[in-house]
Amino acid sequence: MEIRFFRDINLQDPFFDSLKAAYAEFEDWYNRKAGENKNAIVHFADNGEVDGFLFLKIEDNELTDVVPNRAAATRLKVGTFKINPHGTRLGERFIKKIMDVAIHCEVEEIYVTIFEEHIGLIQLLEKYGFERGGTKTTANGVEQVLFKNMRRLTGNVVFDYPLMQVNGKRKVALSIYPIYHSEMFPDSILVNENYDLIRDISHTNSIHKIYVCYMFNVNALRPGDIVCIYRTSDGLGPAHYRSVITSVCIVEEVKTRADFNNLDDFLRYTNSYSIFDEEELRNDWVNDRPNLTVVKMTYNIALKRRITKQILTEDLNINPRYWGFYDLTDEQFNQILERGEVYENIIVN
Per-residue pLDDT of the chain (349 residues; tens, 9 = 90+): 889 999 999 999 999 999 999 999 999 999 999 999 999 999 999 899 999 999 999 999 999 999 999 999 999 999 999 998 776 688 888 999 999 899 999 999 999 999 999 998 999 999 999 999 999 999 999 999 999 999 999 999 999 999 999 999 999 999 988 887 877 777 655 554 443 334 444 455 578 999 999 999 999 999 999 999 998 876 666 567 578 999 999 999 999 999 999 999 999 999 878 888 888 899 889 887 778 999 999 999 888 888 999 999 999 999 999 999 999 999 999 999 999 999 899 998 7
**Residue 99 to residue 108: CA distance in whole angstroms:** 12
Q: Pinpoint the alpha helices (H) of 109-192.
A: 119-127, 157-160, 178-184
Residues 293 and 284: their CA atoms lie apart, in Å, by 10
Angle at 216 between CA 215 and CA 220, to 5 degrees: 110
Angle at 55 between CA 53 and CA 61, to 5 degrees: 160
d(CA 279, CA 286): 10
What end-to-end distance do the CA atoms of the chain give, in Å?
33
Please give the Cα distance from 38 to 4 (Å, whole number): 9
**Whole-angstrom Cα distance, residue 28 to residue 36?**
12
Let me know the angle formed at the C-alpha of 106 by 145 and 344, rounded to the nearest 5 degrees.
Answer: 130
Report the relative pairing of strands 293-308 and 244-256 from DSSP bridges: antiparallel
Res 199: pLDDT: 44
Starting at the edge strand that comes first in sequence, how are the strands of the sheet with 293-308 ordered?
208-213, 293-308, 244-256, 226-231, 171-176, 325-328
Contact by Cβ (8 Å): 245, 307: yes
User: Residues 138, 142, 143, 144: is their CA dihedral positive or negative?
Assistant: positive
The predicted structure's pLDDT at residue 239: 65
Q: Where are the beta strands (DSSP E) in the chain?
A: 2-5, 39-44, 50-59, 75-83, 109-114, 131-138, 141-149, 171-176, 208-213, 226-231, 244-256, 293-308, 325-328
pTM for the complete prediction? 0.87
Q: Rounded to 5 degrees, what are φ and ψ at 273?
A: -115, 0
Task: Determine the pLDDT at residue 215.
Answer: 92
